[in-house]
Amino acid sequence: MNNHFYAILDDGNYSVRRIELTQSLVTGIQKLFVQSGETLIGDNIEDYEFDGNYTPEADEVLFVEMKDLPGTITDIRRTSLGVRVLDFSKESIKALLWYDQKEDIFYFQSFDNRKRLDHKFVLFEDKKMFNQLSDNAFIVEDTVHAVYSDGRLYFKSYANANKILPLGDHFKLTTEEDIQQLAMDPKLSFEADWLIKKSNSTIKKLITKVEKAGILARYETTAIQLSAKKAFLDISLDEDGKIIFPKDIKQVRA
């Protein structure tokens, strides 16, 4: 079995290094990453596009659209032979990576210096006696923090995924300018300054979802009101047929 285990360096350039493994260890590392990845994006997992706020449940996963990974990472698709071997004593690791060449899937695990054992006083058992570990060593956790497949990066925790790849450019929350523009929509009735003052990340997330879905552009307000009623939501229209934003911000969130 080919070894596709790599380290992404913490050098600001996403430089990749090959981690040499004994042949007996390759299968174990592959199994750990692939099986952990399957729990993240398995058949029974619902995926939701990340919008900067939502926290997934146990059976949910977040994703961002990402056309491709940095070129230094995708270069391993062609061959691993040209990738330099990790110099563990001199190079700092940002993330561990297993690449499934057959399925073209990248499995990432966030890494920091706390997982390095070379500077820690680690004891290991040797013939019923304990000795101090003096060789280079590091911890590989039994989890995957992000999976890249088919133009999407999947993850549970934004904080962990963002340590591996910057996600700030891949999602957008509603701005004050967006709210002012929304207030000009002929199907809505509210004061922009009021909503700007009352808006928090939850409200902004809801506005972003409405804009992405194109609900106002696609449907008349009476149809929106009827659909909301079926979902046990109360939407009021003014005499001009515009949707009235409730003054109670809790009702807006509902």
How do residues 57-100 score in pLDDT, each as one tens digit?
889 999 999 889 999 999 999 877 789 999 998 999 999 999 99
Burial track 76-92 (b if 16+ CB lie within 10 A, e otherwise) = beeebeebeebebeeee
Burial of residue 157 (number of CB atoms within 10 Å: 0-12, 13-18, 19+) = middle
> Domain spans of the chain?
5-170, 176-253
Return the H-helix or E-strand segment holding 152.
Answer: strand 152-155
Determine the pLDDT at residue 172.
66
Question: For residue 35, what pLDDT is reported?
Answer: 96
**CA pair distance 132, 117, nearest whole angstrom:** 11
Q: Which pLDDT score, from 0 to 100, does residue 150 have?
A: 94
Cα gap 239→124, rounded to integer Å: 78
- Report pLDDT for 173: 64
Tens of pLDDT, residues 183-203: 888 998 888 888 888 776 667
Dist CA 101 CA 192 (whole Å): 51
Contact between residue 224 and residue 215 where contact means Cβ atoms under 8 Å apart: yes
